[in-house]
Amino acid sequence: MNKVQYICIFILVISFLIVILKNKTNENFYSKKIISNNLPSDRFISLIENTNFNDIDAEQFNKNEDGDLIDGMIGSNETPKLLYLAGKSVRKDSVVVEYGCWFGKSSRAVALGLKENYKNGFFVFDLFKMIDDPNKILLKKNKVKKNESFIHIFNRNVKQLYPKTKTYEGWITDKSNSNIWKKPVDLFLMDCAKDLDNFKIQMINLADSLRIGSIIVLCDFSWPLLTYSQPAIVYSILRNNLKMLYFSPETSHFFFKVTSELDKKKIKDFKFKNYSKEYFKKIFSDVNKDIIFLSKKYKLNSERRTKTINKQLQLLIKKEF
Ligand SMILES: C[S@@+](CC[C@H](N)C(=O)[O-])C[C@H]1O[C@@H](n2cnc3c(N)ncnc32)[C@H](O)[C@@H]1O
């Protein structure tokens, strides 16, 4: 080889190294960006956009430490994975609150996310008592009779994994509030009584603890409910305070970002009859636009969701006007 050839090979090798290094730096920069994004809602979206869901092991959500399958109402793939990513998104100085954890399938997914970062306090509230007819829904292993406590099942599914979980048994009341958790709440999950009175209590309890950028997870927007429920209430009271971030393709779990402080008085005083039919029509049409926007952005099927939202609007108008 002559001198020129040596120089050419040298230049080629150097260029090759530069390309590799550049890619590596970009990767580091990007993963750093994910970690240093300030708001939990931004971190959550970064994680969703940069995670291959197939790389997350679903078994850890669906089975407990003893290898037993967990009964739950959140599906067994996308929703637990999304809750896990939401748990990973919260900041160090915050806590997580869950109203309605049942046997802890949702709590377990969140706890697995918390465990990876700051091991935040986790406050869960439930009756921990079977109020429905258990035979229809339970695995044989979880035999619990009507009115019997099931907290031992929750403990097996969650406390064993995440001892920092604090359980509160009984009806959620206006005492189930920030006097208990005492820190800002970066992630709030609500899957229990969803009628207007209970919804108001739950949101007022959380109003002062939620910061801009906190994540709220609400469910049952997509069930063909006989009477209107959470969608009508949430969208009409909190439409201007929340931004829809994502929805689970598997279940009816919707993820919201808190965009401004929640006004307790506005929540407490809310009555459907204080607003016009046009007001609700406008809100529900905006919400459908959000759903369609997200479904296009993330390739999620939205048809069932928009249909239900429209159905809810018809029910609301029929009942209130
Ligand atoms: C749909 S389940 C929750 C499902 C659960 N997140 C999961 O991962 O499978 C609803 C739970 O809310 C609880 N619940 C309903 N109304 C409640 C209330 N007012 N106060 C406390 N808990 C309540 C029930 O005991 C039940 O465990």
Predicted confidence band at 9 (pLDDT cuts at 50, 70, 90)?
Answer: confident
Angstrom CA distances, 84 to 44, 139, 206, 207, stand at 10, 23, 21, 24
| pLDDT digits 0-9 by tens, 87-106 | 999 999 999 999 999 999 99
Atom of ligand 1 nearest to the CA of 98: 6
Number of domains in the chain: 1
C-beta 98 within 6 A of ligand 1: no
| pLDDT digits 0-9 by tens, 37-74 | 689 999 999 999 999 999 999 999 999 999 999 999 99
pLDDT above 80: residue 29: no
C-beta 242 within 6 A of ligand 1: no
Higher local confidence (pLDDT), 3 or 193:
193
| pLDDT digits 0-9 by tens, 259-301 | 999 999 999 999 999 999 999 999 999 999 999 999 999 999 9
Q: Is residue 81 part of a domain?
A: yes
pLDDT above 50: residue 4: yes
Q: Which residues, other chains included, contact 297 with Cβ-Cβ below 8 Å and sequence gap of 6+?
A: none
- Most confident among 20-29, 148-157, 219-228 (mean pLDDT): 148-157
Q: Is residue 288 part of a domain?
A: no
pLDDT of residue 33: 39
pLDDT above 50: residue 317: yes
Q: Is residue 127 part of a domain?
A: yes
Question: Cα of 149 to ligand 1 centre, how many Å?
Answer: 13
pLDDT of residue 232: 86
Q: Is residue 284 part of a domain?
A: no
Residues 236, 110, 118, 58, Cα dihedral to 10°: -140
pLDDT of residue 13: 74
DSSP 149: B
Question: Cα of 98 to ligand 1 centre, how many Å?
Answer: 10
Q: Is residue 210 part of a domain?
A: yes
Domain extent for 213: 38-273
Q: Is residue 321 part of a domain?
A: no
Average pLDDT across the chain, whole number: 89
Q: Is residue 8 part of a domain?
A: no
Q: For the domain that residue 209 is a member of, what is the CATH number?
A: 3.40.50.150
Higher local confidence (pLDDT), 319 or 26:
319
Q: Is residue 309 part of a domain?
A: no
